[in-house]
Amino acid sequence: MKVCRLAEVATIDSGAGFPLQYQGAQGETFPFLKVSDMNLAGNERAIRTWNNSISEQVRAKLRAKAFPAGTLIFPKIGAAIGTNKKRQLTQPSCVDNNVMGVVPKAELLESEFLYYQFLAKNISDFASDSNPPSIRKSDVENWIVRVPTLHEQRRIVDILSRAEGIVRLRRDAEKKAAELIPALFLDMFGDPATNPKGWPMAALGDVCTINPRLDKHQKPTADSIVTFVPMAAVDGIRGEVVIIEPRNYASVAKGFTPFIKDDVLFAKITPCMENGKAAIVPELVGGYGFGSTEFHVLRSTEHLHKAWLFGFVRREVFRQQAKLNFSGTAGQQRVPVDFLKTLSVPVPDFKLQIAFAQALEQIRSIQSQQSAATAKAQATFDALLAQVFG
């Protein structure tokens, strides 16, 4: 087995600047990828969709390298490094200067083997201590890697791809379970836009409480332990809060969004909103929760049950409508609170909403089983990665 610097078996390069006047084109020769393209649905492993493309003439003008299919890409600057994302190119593509590409030398390194080797590596290990952090080309080039023969690489890739395939099947099953919720919502209540069942209509802000403030008469004391829920703690696929962090109230009293058990959290900022980050707040340490200022909070009333509110905001068509009403600058666009307050919604029979809540609990049980199976498959895959590359 060869032990060498990565630069001996691969070529490492950064992307090019991407002036605004060349952005937005579709159907051109080369996809021009940004870090945000790694977050698009379908791009969880390999890049299959993108928001921008350029012609050969523009590529030459920008002096942008066309990285070949099989190139591994990852973020190279800022907070995006901490997401530890790695993706493969499926066709020749350009990348912007916030992205780094690693091109395997075909006679020495299989592209799939390179992908798995990087999958076992935390790219934050390459990052500088500067603010913002960045990754230098030389640090990636000097990474010491183990490179077996091509025959052995293919054997290892076969094993890892089988294990990864099982994880993918489990995640697909989780997604299908999550899709039951909007399907059931539509079946029980009808399409809110057309209201075929003739429910009474009202402005959402009139039939639920939006972004309620903390009751000043019941505020925790400074040294009380409460719950903190960062944006990353909301699972966009399952629609659940998966991590809660106990914190001292004094540390979250200012600059965070307050909520209580049974409130519905709805991410208002791109891309979290499009990724479906919404959840019903579970039991909280200390009875109070605080989270990102990028959450809107919806509180149920005698008109709308928490389950209905959750089902409503989890629909893809609602998120598309919310996106059309974004405000703010590119990369920092948000759903304004006035959009929610003035949105006309049906108000179904409350007994039917309770029946929906009961069905939701049954779906949650299925999701829990699927989640446990996924975690087991992921643990097996991670153990194999560690055995090969650890």
Question: Rounded to whole angstroms, how far apart are CA atoms 175 and 172?
Answer: 5
Indicate whether this model's pTM tops 0.75. no
Are 228 and 200 within 8 A, CB to CB? no
Residue 219: per-residue pLDDT: 82
Within 13 Å and on the Cβ side, how many CA atoms surround 123? Answer: 31
Q: What local confidence, expressed as pLDDT, does residue 119 receive? A: 96
The two tokens of residue 13 are 């390069």
Query: Is the predicted pLDDT of residue 56 greater than 90, yes or no?
Result: yes
Report the CATH fold assignment for 196-344: Adenine-n6-DNA-methyltransferase TaqI; Chain A, domain 2 (3.90.220)
pLDDT for 247: 95
Per-residue tokens: 233: 């703690």
Collapsing DSSP states into helix, strand and coil, what is residue 265?
strand
pLDDT at 66 over 80: yes
Cis, bond preceding 271 (omega within 30 deg of 0): yes
Q: List, in order, residues 6 or more apart from 210 with CB less than 8 Å away.
A: 204, 296, 297, 298, 299, 337, 340, 341
Which residue reads 């969880």 in tokens? 44
Question: Cβ distance 239 to 266 under 8 Å?
Answer: no
At 222 the pLDDT is 86
CATH class of 2-147: alpha beta
- Average of pLDDT values for 57-71? 97
> pLDDT digit string (tens) for 208-263?
999 999 887 778 888 899 999 999 999 988 899 998 899 999 999 999 999 999 99
Distance CA 370, CA 205 (A): 35
Largest CA distance in the chain: 71
Burial, 106: exposed, middle or buried (Cβ in 10 Å; 0-12, 13-18, 19+)? exposed
Name the amino acid, one letter, at 301: T
pLDDT-based confidence at 10, cuts 50/70/90?
Answer: very high
Q: Where do you find CATH 3.90.220.20 in the chain?
A: 2-147, 196-344
* Beta strand pairing call for 99-104 and 10-14: antiparallel
CB contact set of 168 (below 8 Å; sequence gap of 6+): none
- Gap between the Cα atoms of 50 and 34, Å rounded: 8
Q: DSSP label at 214?
A: P
What would the two tokens of residue 80 be? 């995006």
Average pLDDT estimate for 86-102: 97
- pLDDT digits 0-9 by tens, 313-369: 999 999 999 999 999 886 689 999 999 999 999 999 999 999 999 999 999 899 889
Beta bridge partner(s), residue 291 = 229, 257
Categorise residue 2: left if φ over 0, alpha if ψ from -120 to 50, beta otherwise.
beta
Q: What percent of the chain stands above pLDDT 70?
A: 99
pLDDT digits (tens, 9 = 90+) for 17-44: 999 999 999 999 999 999 999 989 899 9
Q: Taking residues 262-276, what's their average pLDDT?
A: 94
Closest CA to 259 of 301, 225, 302, 215: 215
pLDDT at 311 over 90: yes
What are the DSSP calls for 139-188, one per residue? HHHT-EEEE--HHHHHHHHHHHHHHHHHHHHHHHHHHHHHHHHHHHHHHH
Output the pLDDT for position 45.
95
Contacts of 305 (CB under 8 A, 6+ apart): 350, 353, 354, 356, 357
Q: Report yes or no: 349 and 211 within 8 Å, Cβ to Cβ.
A: no
Q: Are 227 and 286 in contact (CB under 8 A)?
A: yes
Q: Distance between CA 53 and CA 325 in Å, rounded?
A: 25
Cα–Cα distance between 160 and 204 in angstroms, integer?
A: 49
